[in-house]
Amino acid sequence: MKRRSIIPIHNLNKVPFDLPFLTLSKSTIIAPVDGGDYSALHFGAEEIYRPIVNTSTICVLVDDPPEHDFSFFARLTAMKVCFVLNSCAEASPLIMSKCALLRKEPDTKYLETVDISGFHKASVLSSPPFILMASISPAEIEKLYDIYSSVLEDHPETHVTIDRYNCSLYRVEPNDQIIDITTSLESLIRSQTEIAFKFALYIAFIIECDPIKRQGLFETLQGLYAVRSAIVHGDIHSANKKKQIKAIAERMDEIRRIAHQAISYYIFYLSDKHEVDWQKYLEQLVLGKAKRIEL
C-alpha cells in the first residue's frame, strides 16, 4: 500500500532557493502540500490541521514511510530535518508540531497523526519566519541530510545528542536551555570518572586546534558544566550562583555554536568509524596521537 507522511512547517513561507521542491533524499522532499493531501488532512482531521495547514503550506513529505512503528519514524524524521536545517538557519529555528500519515492508493485517505512538537508548542503559531543562510546550497543540504540520516539510523545512541540539542533551541527559560545543551554535549563523553574535567577537555580539543583559544574554550565549558550542575541540584539562590548562571545564559548563542560544532564532529566521525573507538580517539587526540577531522 503506497503511503506518505506529511509534516507541516509552521514558519517556512516558501520552498528555499525558489525551487518547486527541495530534495533531502530520494524519498524526502520539502514542498507545498498538494491538493489531494490537503483535502485528506482537512476531511480526516480538520480539528488538527485547519489551524496549521492551508493550500500553500510548506511541508516535509516522505513517500513510502515504514509500516511498522510510524510514531518512531515520525519523530526521527523531524529530529533529522530540524537539526540539518537549523544548522543552516539565519536565526529562528524550524517549527513543526504534527506528522500525518496518509494512504495514497487507491485514493488519498488520512490514517493517523503523531505529535512531534516537543518543546515547540508555545511558539507554533508565533515564531518568526525560518530563513536559510544565503551561503548554503541545495546540494550541501542534501549531502548533510544524507550523512545525518545514515548515522542516526545506524547509531541510536546519537538520538539523545541530537534531540537535546534541538530542544535547547525551543526552550524559553535560560536554565532549561543550559540543561539541554549541556546534556547534549555530555552524551559525547564516554566516561564514569572526572566527567566535568573530561567534558571540557575533550570538547575543547574537538573544536579548537589553537592552544591559546583552546584554553579559553576549556574554561567556558568548565563554567557551563558547573552551572548545569548547580541548576539540576537546586544550588541557584546565592548571589554568586545567579551571577554565574546569568553569565552563561548571555553566551547561549556562542555555546550553541560550540555544541553544534562538537556534535557535527562526532557525527562525521561515526560516518566513517566505529562508535566503540570514539572514547579512545578522544584520548589519543588530546595526547597528539590522532589527527583531527576536517569538516
**95-122: per-residue pLDDT in tens?**
999 999 999 999 999 999 999 976 454 4
Q: What is the pLDDT averaged over residues 198-207? A: 96
pLDDT higher than threshold 80 for residue 3: yes
Q: What is the pLDDT of residue 211?
A: 94
Percent of the chain surpassing pLDDT 70: 97
pLDDT higher than threshold 50 for residue 188: yes
Name the residue type at position 160.
Answer: V
pLDDT higher than threshold 60 for residue 156: yes
Q: Which residues contact 94 (CB under 8 A, 6 or more apart)?
A: 9, 11, 12, 81, 82, 85, 86, 130
* pLDDT band of 280, cuts 50, 70, 90: very high
**100, 5 Cβ separation under 8 angstroms:** yes
Q: Which residues contact 132 (CB under 8 A, 6 or more apart)?
A: 16, 17, 85, 88, 89, 90, 141
Q: What is the pLDDT of residue 117?
A: 78
* pLDDT band of 288, cuts 50, 70, 90: very high
Backbone angles phi, psi at 272, to 5 degrees: -130, -10
Q: What is the pLDDT of residue 118?
A: 66
What is the pLDDT of the chain when averaged over all its residues? Answer: 93
Top mean pLDDT of 111-120, 148-157, 165-174 is at: 148-157
Q: What is the pLDDT of residue 74?
A: 97
**97, 117 Cβ separation under 8 angstroms:** yes
Q: What is the pLDDT averaged over residues 241-249? A: 95
Q: Is 166 exposed, middle or buried (0-12, 13-18, 19+ CB in 10 A)?
A: buried
> Sign of the CA dihedral 68, 70, 76, 80?
positive
